[in-house]
Structure formats: structure tokens, C-alpha cells
Structure 1
Amino acid sequence: EESSSVHCVSWNFELEDGIGDWTTAGCELVEATNDRVKCNCTHATNFAILVDVKGQAPDDGDRSPKKALDIISQVGCVLSIIALTITMVIYLTIRKLRKRKSRQIFIHFCFSLLMLYVIFLTGVDNAKGSGGGCVFVGALLHYLTLTTMMWMAVEARNMYVSTVKVFPEDTRRYMLKASLVAWGSPLIVLTITLAAATHHYINDHYCFLRPDLVLYIGLLTPIGLILIHNIVTFVLVMRSLLKVKEISRSQQISKRLQNAVGISVLLGLTWCFGFLVINEAAFAFQLIFCLANSFQGVVVFILFCVCREEVRTALSPYMQRICCGREYHLPIMHPDKPTDAEMVPLRRIPNSHPGQLPIWICPLQHHSNSHEANHT
């Protein structure tokens, strides 16, 4: 009879014409004893919890800021998951886009970041109160956060070796070695953390490391070291870039540097804002951190797909087939430009003889080049 008067509720901001009210939707009573009540509720948790170093309770004070962060996290994570999925499909489908080491490193980075978004969106809040399930989700988030940063460190190292070092290094099985470092070293950190402080992954409000010494040592310290490594590396690469006199090589290095710096700066700035989640200014830094991290995948898609001419060129034939239906293309080689090919559409002409297939012709195009015939 005592448990019949116990209700598990959550605050719904949309009720009572925006004033808000308690609701039992999404909440259920798990256990009720004389001195303890256990409830399970499903609701969003914002991305800023990853660096909530002050342990600010999300239920204290006005809930409007938390609601804003929740919405930003949900929208940003969903858009980033879609953007990263499209990016990986493009790079894995088109073979020439993944030949170079830097592209293979980029694919690993995208996969790690994609898994981080998926686990965060589906598990950081829903696994609360499940004990082992919460530890599992928190450990995965810890691991994927470190692997994402490690792959950026690998890309920084790859740029340093290819642009700064005078004597080339042994690059045999480079990706195997890089994978062991980027996927393996965070696993060592995670194993030590789990062995020493498993209960620190169980939080009252979400499934992640508690804001205490374990968070500083197991997550924030490795991230800080990686950011320092990336900053130093990019400074050295920039100095080397300024010394390059060959235009083609300079342009190639510049494009890689722009993309890598764009991602690394974004990662670095977001974590710096996360470190600044303190006192009265906490929400401002949480908002910036939440925006930048949640939309990280969208930024990756824009930098490495939309803004890259090589990717747009590789996708052009596929887009023409999708948009133009049954329109096929053949390359026409110009005599004075043997390496260039112009894609000319085939034109379909119905066959006048019944029962025979239609005829496809390639119309000649007139150019102003010197090899054209003069018309009199």
C-alpha cells in the first residue's frame, strides 16, 4: 500500500502552455522500500557532462539552460551521425579516395567519432540505474573519446614525418603500427581505470566518470597531452610549409594542413571550453562546448567532402547517373591534351527497324582549340 502512493515523474517543459509540470511519461517505478525509492526515466543528457569537472547537478536551479543543452546535443549528435555515415560511405566506396595513408587515418578517425556519437546518444542516459550497463556505457565513452583524440595525434605525426623530417622513416606496416597505438593505448588507460575505480563510472545523473581525481587522471590529462602534441606538431609543419618553394608541393601540403588544423583546433578549443566550466560562467562554456562537440561530425563532412574538389570530382559521375537517369558518358581525349578527358553524354536515337535495339551516338562538340578543322 505504501508503494501505491509513490510515483516516478519528470518535468515536462511543454505542459501548461510552456510553464511546465510534472509528468509520469517515460518514467517507471523499479523498487520501493521503507527508506529508498528507485525509478528509471528516459530523457536526454547534454554533451557537456563529459567535462563536468565541478560536478554540477543538472537538476539544480533553473532547468531552462539544461533543456537548451539537451536539445543542442540531440540535434547535433543526430546530424553528426548522418554526416559521418555519409563521409565514411564516400571514402570507403571510392577506392582512389582511400589510397593514401592520411585518408586511411581519416577513416579511422571518422569511425571512432561516429561510435562516440552513437554510444553517447543511445546509452549515456538510458543505461542509468542498470549497474553493469552503466559501467559498460561509461567505459565505452571514455575509450572512444581517447581513441578519437589519438587518431588526430596519429595524423599530426604523419604530417610531421612527411613534411618536416629530413630523413625518411621506415613506413612499412605504418597503418598496423598506427592502429596498435591509436586503438591500443586508450585501452590500457581504460583497463587501469576500470581495475582501480570501476564504481566511478556510475553517476547519479549519467553514465560517465564522476567529476573527481579519476576524471582528471584518466581522461583530461591524456587529452591535454595530445592537444599539446598536436599544437607543437602543427607549428613545426607550418614553419616547414613556409620554406617550401615548389608550388605544387606547397599547395598539397597546405590543403592537408588546413583540414587537419581545422579539426584539431575545433577539438582543442572545445575541450578548453570544457575545462572552463566553472561557477557563474559555466553555462556559457557548456553551451560552446556542447555546440562544437555535437556538430563535430557536420564540420568533418563539410571540410572533407563538400570543400574538397577531389571528392566532388569523384562523386560527379555517380551524381549524374542519379540525377540524369539513363545518361551515359564516354571520355573524349583531346590531341593537344592527352591527359585530359571531356565527358560527353551519349544520345539515344530510336531505331527505325522494328525489333532492333536503339542506337546510342556520341555527338561531336566544337571547340576553339588549334586542332579543329577550319570551316569554309
Structure 2
Amino acid sequence: MKVKVVSILIIILSTGSSENDLYLDFCGTWRHGKGSLSLSVNLSPGCDGLSISANKTSLSIDGQITAQCRHSDVVSLEQYGLGSQEDSYFCLYWEPLLDQLKLQVAGKNLTLCWPASIRGSCCTDLAHGNNTPYASYGIFNGSVRNDQLSDKIMTAYKFNGEHTDCKKLCDQLNQGSTQVNMVEDPLAPGYVKHPCARSSEVVMKKDFRGFNVTSPAAKGEPAEPLITVHIPPALKQAAKNTSKVAFSFFKNNSLFQDGLEKVKILNDVVEINVENEIIADLPEPIRIGFHHDVVPQLEPRPVCHLLVLTSITSLGCAVSVISCIALIIFLCKKSKRSKEQSTPIHLGLAISLALLNLLFFFTGVLANVEESVCTWVGAALHYTLLSSFAWMGIEVFHTFWLVYMVFSPFPKPYVWNLLGFVLPAVPVFILLRIGDVYGVREVLPCDDLHNPYLMCGMTITKHKALLAHYFTNITVRVILVFSGPVMLFLVYREKRTRNVWKQHRVAFLTTWSLSCLFGIIWCLDFLDSEFALFVSCIFSSFEGFTLMLSLCIVKWIQKEAGGQHMPQEES
């Protein structure tokens, strides 16, 4: 068993190390003195290693890692503005396949070895060597690819390399190896063709009528070409001095990321070159097609029986608005005669539901007016919805308070008004500042996908709006769904232990009805069935009417019970 484990470990290690660490990306901060500074360069062919050292006045790059480049020089750094401060950040980039070495210091790029065509072996796998002594001046916070080597001030960092077959590196590069990453500046002087580019050539004869070129498939790639280039016949007429067109296909897009800050190349790269010709103003364009996976889009799901559901919603909203207005009038008159602490809470919920149903009733009409109008209507709809959720939660918490906090002072009405009317405006205001969240929303009927129903609200087909929908609406809904049953269970357990069931049965019925109204019915929105859709539509649109009906039933029960009230209901 031990032998098997060891053999498996050796296989895993050998497989993981089969790919080469192609390039060197070293960065650090040079601690130097103020005054005249210089850069000392001494580079020659070989693969004995690279040394990056520094002292009070000089930064040195010394080593044998190149294939052809020989460079020995001392450069003054005063022209780059160094010397006014004691610390200077720098980075050194080594590209073995191009035999290129670049130094970036003080925001300036210095090419120490220009790109060149190489064959045979490359110096790769530059690994950190032995540590050097600490000093007052030198390099600190040295790192390779953002992995810190030391936070101490070192006099030098040494790297040892290994000879590697360049063809082997190109195979890794074309297969998209995650450990092969390079940077190339195609606009740099002395630019040469990359040795790992997969190339092809087309000869345009006299009767040239256009041609399609496809990228060669590398090992492990699908048979379908990733890049297709169509050369029009007009190119033959424009190219007067030559008849050859060269194509280069680059698999690794990191070759062209240097200098790009706001954009990033996501696909393969193709280069088209007509030798010694500058082609412009072609009557027919060169078409380049990049094969990629289908990009998923957020599409609204068609709704069946949309006309029936719309009719139910319109009727329910109208009935709810009328019910809420009647309830508001009743509660306002009641608040003058009685000081029941639940009256302001019922009143706040009735107001928020009245506004919600009123806006929802006219949303189909307002969606056809103007985009800017629909943006504000959608924001107002979202606010009234969150306000309704808040007052539903306040109703649940109010009942819980009456049962568990019998001897605790009840919060003032302005506290509930802040939570129910002011707090929901905060996320809506933030989303309005972000923008592109509210607007016209399309609802597609199953029987006519080309004639959508327009309404105002959150445009959840966009990622920002969908994320806001989940963080606000869905989160609050889940809390309401679970708070109702949990509160109901706690109230039932409390009353059963006190053995005062008959005395407080009105309070229990109120708790039960409100928990069902403000929590459980929202569970239906999470069920994917036509029956649940119809039931949810009926309960949601007639919610204002249900609120008025439940409060009337509770009032009637209290009257039949001889004026029974909930604990602490009278101040």
C-alpha cells in the first residue's frame, strides 16, 4: 500500500511539473539616497541566472539569460525624475520566447533587450535563489507575480534558470496552458513575428474571387475552427505590389494585454499582413468571425393566461384601493375616540397598500407615456411595495411585543412611521442614483410573444435590476414568510403555558390572521404552477380588501366577547 501511494504521488508531481514557468515578472521598491542615480545593465547569452541588485546610487541588472541579446551600459536615471524621493517602485519583465527584457521604473518603460527571432533553447523557470544580506539601501517588498518574497531590504535578488526547448514552450502556449502567460508590445521598434503564432499564407492569383481562411486547430480543441477570415476579391485589386497575404493566429490573448487598462481582450487574436502594402478604403470589408459559446441572456419568461390574470389584478387593485380608503377613514375616526396602540400601525399598512394598489392599477397606462415617467413610477412602485412589507413586519412584531413584552413601554408611533415610511425610501434612492434599474418592463403572453404587455417597475432583465430585486424584494419576502409562522408558534406556546387561552383568544386570532395575511401567502410566489400563480394573484391584488375584512372580523369577535382587548392595548 505504501509503495502504491508513493508511486501515485510521483505521478502527480511529475504531471504538475510538466509545464514550464515561462516568464519572470519581478517587482520591488528600491530604497536609495537623494541625488544622482543610475542604471547598470550587463546582459549576455546563456542561462546561468539573473541578478537584480541595488545600492544607494545604482540599480543593477546583471545575468546570462538571453538567446542573442548582448547589452552592457550605464544609464542615468535623472531624466526620469528619480532622486527626489528615497523610494522608487520598479518592475522587470522577461519574455524568453521573444528574447525580450523590459524594465519599468517611475512609470517609464525601458527596453533592455529588444525582441528577436529565436530558435533552439530558451531560458525559463527562473526561480528565486539564495538570500543576500540585509542593508540600509537596496530592494524591499520584492515579489514575483504579486507573491511577496521578502519585506526586508535586500542588496540583491538572484534567480536561477533552466534551458528549455522553445518548440515545447510553443506547444504549451497554443494549448492555452494556465502556467504560460506572456506580454508583447506589437508597436515596439524592432517588432518581430512571435515564434508561437500559428500561421498560414494565401496567394492571390489573377482570377482571385475571394477566399476563406480558418485557424488551425490545436491539440484538444474542437474540430470547428475558432476563427474564420473572409478575404474579399477587392483586396487583390488594392494590393498592387504583392499577391501574398499572411495570417497569424494567436491562441494566448495575454500577449496583447500590455497597456490596456479599461478593456481586456477575451478572444483569440488574428493578424493579417499584406507584405509591404498599406491597404485602406476597401469597397468590401474583410470579415473575421470568432466562434464562441452562446452568451446567456436574461429573457422574460412568457406568462400564460395573461389577460385573465391582468383582469383579476385590475379588479383586485380597484377593490383594495376602495377598501383601504374606507379603512383609513374608519381608523382616523377611531383614533380620535380611542387610543389603541395598534391603530397607527393598521393605518400605516392601509395607506401603503392603498398607494401600492393605486399605482399598480395605472402602471399599464403610464408605461406607454414616456420612458422617464415610467422610471419614476417604477421607483414609486418599489417604494410602496417595500413600505407595505415594512408595515407587514411591524404588524407581526407588534403582536409579538404585546405577548412577550407585557410590562415594557410600547414604542412611540413616530418610530413605526420612520420604519414604515422613511426606511423603505433609502434603498430606492440608492438604486435611483445607480441608474438603469427602473423603467419599462415587458411581460410576454404565451399566445403572442411579439405583443408584450408593458408595465412600469424594475427591469429585471438587466443584471443590476435583478440583483437589486433579490437583495430587496426577495430577502424581505423570505423574512416575512418565516416570521409569521415562528411568531405564531411562540404566541401559542406562551398562551398554552399560562392557561389563559379563553381570556386571550381574540389576541390569538388576530395574530393568526395577520401572520397568514402578511407572510404565508407570499410562499405561493415561489411555487412554479398555474394554480399557485392564480391563487397568489388573487390574494396579492385583494390584499387591501383582506386587510379590511380581517380587522372587521376581529372587531366583531371583540364585540361578541364583551369588549375584549389584547394585553396592553389601552394606554
Report if aligned partners of 2:484, 2:520 keep a CA contact under 8 Å in 1: no
Comparing both structures, which one devotes a greater share of its residues to strand? 2
2 CA distance for matches of 1:210 and 1:294?
21
Q: Work out which of the residue numbers 53, 64, 74 in structure 1 matches 2:314.
A: 74
CA deviation vs aligned residue, 1:83-140 (integer Å, no higher than 9, x gap): 2222221221234665211122111111111111111102354234512211111111
Tell me if 1:272 matches 2:523. Answer: yes
Q: Is the 8 A contact 2:506 2:557 kept in 1?
A: no
The one-character-per-residue Cα deviations of 1:9-29 (angstroms, maximum 9, x if unpaired) are xxxxxxxxxxxxxxxxxxxxx
What is the one-letter code of the residue matched to 1:259? Answer: T
- The yes-or-no answer on 1:285 pairing with 2:535 is no
Larger radius of gyration: 2
Task: Say yes or no: does 1:89 pair with 2:336.
Answer: no
1:55 to 293, 300, 324: 300
How much identity, in percent, do the aligned residues show?
21
Tell me what 1:41 maps to: none
* Partner amino acid, structure 2, of 1:79: V
Alignment of 1:1-376 (within 5 A): 55-58=300-303, 65-95=305-335, 99-128=339-368, 130-165=370-405, 168-171=407-410, 174-204=412-442, 205-211=454-460, 212-246=466-500, 250-251=503-504, 254-276=505-527, 278=528, 281=529, 283-306=530-553, 308-309=555-556
Aligned CA distance change for structure 1 residues 306 and 82 (closer, same or farther; 3 Å): farther
Deviation for aligned residue 1:311: 8.4
Q: 8 Å contact 2:356–2:385 — kept in the other structure?
A: yes
Give per-residue Cα distances to partners, 1:223-257, cap 9 Å, x unaligned: 22233333322321221122233467x32xx3233
In the TM superposition, residue 77 of structure 1 has moved relative to its aligned partner by 1.4
Q: Distance in 2 between matches of 1:209 and 1:268?
A: 22
Counting matched residue pairs gives: 247
Write the deviation string for residues 156-205 of structure 1: whole angstroms up to 9, x where unpaired: 22222221237x4343x521112112222211121222223444433233
State the Cα distance separating 1:308 from its structure 2 match: 2.0
TM, length-normalised to structure 2: 0.40
Moved more, 145-154 or 264-273: 264-273
In the alignment, structure 2 segments of 5+ residues that lack a partner are 1-297, 443-453, 461-465, 561-571
Greater per-residue helix proportion: 1
Change (3 A) 1:206 1:96: same
Q: CA deviation at 1:259?
A: 2.8
Instruction: Give the distance between the partners of 2:337 and 2:395, measured in 1 at CA.
Output: 16
CA RMSD of superposed structures (Å) = 2.7
Q: More relative contact order in 1 or in 2 (CA 8 Å, sep 6+)?
A: 1
Deviation at 1:290, TM superposition (A): 0.7
Q: Residue 124 of structure 1 contacts residue 208 of structure 1 at CA under 8 Å; is this kept in 2?
A: no
What is the identity, as a one-letter code, of the residue corresponding to 2:301?
Q
Separation in 2, partners of 1:119, 1:294: 12
**Cα contact 1:305–1:311 (8 A) shared by 2:** no
User: TM-score normalised to the size of structure 1?
Assistant: 0.59
Residue by residue, what CA displacement relative to the aligned partner does 1:49-90 show, whole Å, maximum 9, x if unpaired? xxxx982245xxx6xx11110111111111122222222212
Distance 1:98 1:198 in 2: 47
